[in-house]
A = this chain, B = another copy of it.
Amino acid sequence: MKPSVRYKLNLAYCGANYFGWQVQVAGATWKGARPKTGKLRTVQGVLTEHIGRIVGHPVTVVGSSRTDTGVHAKGQVAHFDTTSVHIPPEGLRRAVNNRLPDDVVINTIVEVPSPNPDTHRGGFDAIGDAVHKRYQYLIWHSLNRNVLMEHLAFHRWHDVDVDAMAAGAAHLVGTMDYTSFCRPGHGRESTVRTISDCSVSQRGKLIVVSVAGNGFLWNQVRIIVGTLVEVGIGRFKSDDIRHMLDARDRRAAGSTAPSHGLYLQWIQHRLNRGRGEPV
């Protein structure tokens, strides 16, 4: 058996033309806005195709975060295994980038520890080793549309009280049950997560909501942003966020902000583990 090498990728993409990260089967039962038939272009699919061609064998590209349709990434992390050890990482990066469409780019490729070939344990894992993630959400706050950021920011024209949004955001920081801020049907065992930062700032006509934590539930950031916007326009008070959390019911929180304003900023992983040595 050929020795296998595991590579860690850091990549960016514009989500506008993708049905999210994960390879999907058309017409499957998974809920989401997408056609019933036809080829679904996904970021994972595009990467799998082009990396596979260059290393000369089929690969599985495992992404740290399964971003939804339309969501962008500045620092998605993924890993894959290859037996083509003759390609140095930087050469591989350039070769894949040359073939990738304009809206996906691999910023770094580094070799990371592989799992133990006998036990299949240990080694770097893009999903399992993620310990901290940051998302950003952009709101274009102006009477007029921003024609240059049409698919890059959520347009709101109401009067928005950014201070009230920030006060509401502060209630979301902590280790809590975020059931009210999670789309049902997520399939996760626990809805308890830790949010280490949830802040709102204004940069000219852009309102930026920044959320960091140890992991996020399905649509969690988008429901947080949708609810904070409703706080900003006075539909809710900042302190209502606390009652929403207590309710542990999705219907208690506000609306889900659209996907096109959401950016996966970065993902931190625990230090690379040695082969088969759990940390």
State the interface size on chain A (CB cutoff 8 A). Answer: 18
How far does the alpha carbon of A104 sit from the alpha carbon of B74 in the complex, in Å?
Answer: 27
Task: Identify which of B74, B102, B145, B147 contacts A150 (C-beta below 8 A).
Answer: B102
Interface of A (DSSP majority class): loop
- State how many copies of this chain the complex holds: 2
In whole Å, how far is A101's beta carbon from the nearest beta carbon of chain B?
Answer: 9
How far does the alpha carbon of A14 sit from the alpha carbon of B150 in the complex, in Å?
Answer: 9
In whole Å, how far is A214's beta carbon from the nearest beta carbon of chain B?
Answer: 26
Does A13 belong to the interface (CB within 8 Å)? yes
Most chain B beta-carbon contacts within 10 A, residue among A14, A97, A146, A148: A148
Does A144 belong to the interface (CB within 8 Å)? yes
How far does the alpha carbon of A97 sit from the alpha carbon of B145 in the complex, in Å?
Answer: 9
A selection of 20 A-B contacts at a CB cut-off of 8 Å is A12-B144, A12-B146, A12-B147, A12-B148, A13-B147, A14-B147, A14-B148, A72-B148, A74-B148, A97-B145, A102-B145, A102-B147, A102-B150, A103-B150, A104-B147, A105-B144, A105-B145, A105-B147, A107-B144, A148-B152
Closest to A93 in B: B144
Query: Binary interface profile of A, 207-229, with partner B (CB < 8 Å = 1, else 0)?
Result: 00000000000000000000000
Q: 7 smallest A-B Cβ distances: which pairs?
A: A14-B147, A105-B145, A102-B150, A103-B147, A107-B144, A12-B147, A14-B148
**Which B residues lie within 8 Å of A145 (CB)?**
97, 102, 105
In whole Å, how far is A58's beta carbon from the nearest beta carbon of chain B?
Answer: 25
**Which B residues lie within 8 Å of A152 (CB)?**
148
In whole Å, how far is A32's beta carbon from the nearest beta carbon of chain B?
Answer: 22
How far does the alpha carbon of A148 sit from the alpha carbon of B102 in the complex, in Å?
Answer: 9
How far does the alpha carbon of A107 sit from the alpha carbon of B103 in the complex, in Å?
Answer: 29
Having A103-B147, A105-B147, one finds 20 other A-B pairs with CB under 8 Å, namely A12-B144, A12-B146, A12-B147, A12-B148, A13-B147, A14-B147, A14-B148, A14-B150, A72-B148, A74-B148, A97-B145, A102-B145, A102-B147, A102-B150, A103-B150, A104-B147, A105-B144, A105-B145, A107-B144, A148-B152
How far does the alpha carbon of A134 sit from the alpha carbon of B147 in the complex, in Å?
Answer: 19
